[in-house]
């Protein structure tokens, strides 16, 4: 009987010890908060907002802006002589200048915005934007400058419909190389540059559909676009012989060339560091 009682006591003690261990494990489990699933859900909820914020403006807003610019330019061609009789003498004289001045000024504004877009884009890809003005700021400026440059380029083209010297119709303004009057080759190359600018600008909104590789390939068209815009301005612009215009073209072209070479050298340096020693 003594051995039987001892066995029972041992079994009772073992059961109590197991119960205490199970209770301790349960208490410890209850103390651990289920934080991981909440963090994952929070991250997933934030990502779409971040993607939307990367766009400088929504696509409907961009489309509305371009339509407004087009309507404004066409409206200026028709309504300015009626609303501002004081300009009628200039607009309808043997050498009208008002539309020509508007076309020239909008061309330089568009070119300046295109140059800014190139500069900020190169600063981002060469990592120099971390020094100034900062990655997010450079990205926003890059997109806004591109879209505004596109709008001013459209205005520059359409306002020429009112110029009596150019004498271009809507088809000649919109179709590359359809115009056969003043400097047709360089005007046509400028038109090609405009459509390249349009493609690059729209690629911001199609990046998810295109994929990163195709988007990067399309984005390299920016270099061809800038070269065409520069050639169009230098070889067809009526101000190209002036000192101030030459300074603008040399300064903008030289700075883009410098940052492009800097970017190429940085990529080569990175590849050399990453490659194993021979």
The model's pTM:
0.69
Phi-psi domain of 132 (left: phi exceeds 0; alpha: psi -120 through 50; beta: other): beta
pLDDT at 40: 40
Please give, one letter per residue, the 3-state secondary structure of the chain: CHHHHHHHHHHHHHHHHHHHHHHHHHHHHHHCCCHHHHHHHHHHHHHHHHHHHCCCCCHHHHHHHHHHHHHHHHHHHHHHHHHCHHHHHHHHCCCCCHHHHHHHHHHHHHHHHHHHHHHHHHHHHCCHHHCCCCHHHHHHHHHHHHHHHHHHHHHHHHHHHHCCCCCCCHHHHHCCCCCCCCCHHHHHHHHHHHHHHHHHHHHCCCHHHHCHHHHHHHHCHHHHHHHHHHHHHHHHCCCCCCHHHHHHHHHHHHHHHHHHHHHHHHHHHHHHHHCCCC
Rounded Cα distance, 124 and 57, in Å: 19
On the question of a cis peptide bond just before residue 133, with omega within 30 degrees of 0, the verdict is yes
Per-residue pLDDT of the chain (278 residues; tens, 9 = 90+): 456 656 666 666 666 666 666 555 455 445 445 544 444 433 333 333 334 445 656 666 666 666 776 676 666 666 555 555 555 555 555 555 778 888 899 999 999 999 999 999 888 887 777 777 777 888 888 888 999 999 999 999 998 888 877 888 999 999 999 998 888 999 999 999 999 999 998 888 888 888 888 888 898 999 999 999 999 999 998 899 999 999 999 999 999 999 999 888 887 887 777 766 54
Distance in angstroms (rounded) separating the CA atoms of residues 91 and 82: 11
pLDDT tens digits along 191-227: 999 999 999 988 888 888 888 888 888 989 999 999 9
Nearest to 230 by CA among 200, 251, 244, 212: 251
Distances in Å between the alpha carbon of 215 and those of 47, 63, 84, 117, 251? Answer: 20, 20, 46, 17, 29
116-155 pLDDT tens trace: 999 998 888 877 777 777 778 888 888 889 999 999 999 9
- Nearest Cα neighbor of 168 from 150, 141, 188, 148 is 188
């Amino acid at each position: 009987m003594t051995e039987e009682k001892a066995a029972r006591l041992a079994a009772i003690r073992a059961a109590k010890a197991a119960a205490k261990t199970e209770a301790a494990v349960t208490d410890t489990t209850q103390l651990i908060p289920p934080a991981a699933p909440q963090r994952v859900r929070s991250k997933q909820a934030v990502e779409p907002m971040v993607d939307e914020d990367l766009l400088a403006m929504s696509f409907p807003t961009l489309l509305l802006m371009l339509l407004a610019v087009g309507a404004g330019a066409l409206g200026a061609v028709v309504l300015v002589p009626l609303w501002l009789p004081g300009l009628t003498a200039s607009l309808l004289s043997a050498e009208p200048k008002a539309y020509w001045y508007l076309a020239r000024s909008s061309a330089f504004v568009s070119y300046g915005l295109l140059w800014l877009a190139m500069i900020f884009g190169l600063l981002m890809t060469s990592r120099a934007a971390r020094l100034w003005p900062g990655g997010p700021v450079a990205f926003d400026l890059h997109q806004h400058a591109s879209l505004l440059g596109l709008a001013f380029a459209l205005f520059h083209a359409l306002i020429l419909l009112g110029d009596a010297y150019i004498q271009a119709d809507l088809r000649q303004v919109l179709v590359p190389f359809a115009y056969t009057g003043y400097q047709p080759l360089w005007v046509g190359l400028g038109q090609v540059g405009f459509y390249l600018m349009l493609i690059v600008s729209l690629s911001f909104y199609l990046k998810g559909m295109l994929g990163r590789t195709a988007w990067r390939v399309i984005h390299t068209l920016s270099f061809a676009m800038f070269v065409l815009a520069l050639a169009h301005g230098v070889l067809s612009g009526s101000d190209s012989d002036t000192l101030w215009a030459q300074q603008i073209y040399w300064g903008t072209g030289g700075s883009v060339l410098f940052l492009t070479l800097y970017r190429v050298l940085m990529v080569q340096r990175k590849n050399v560091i990453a490659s194993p020693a021979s």
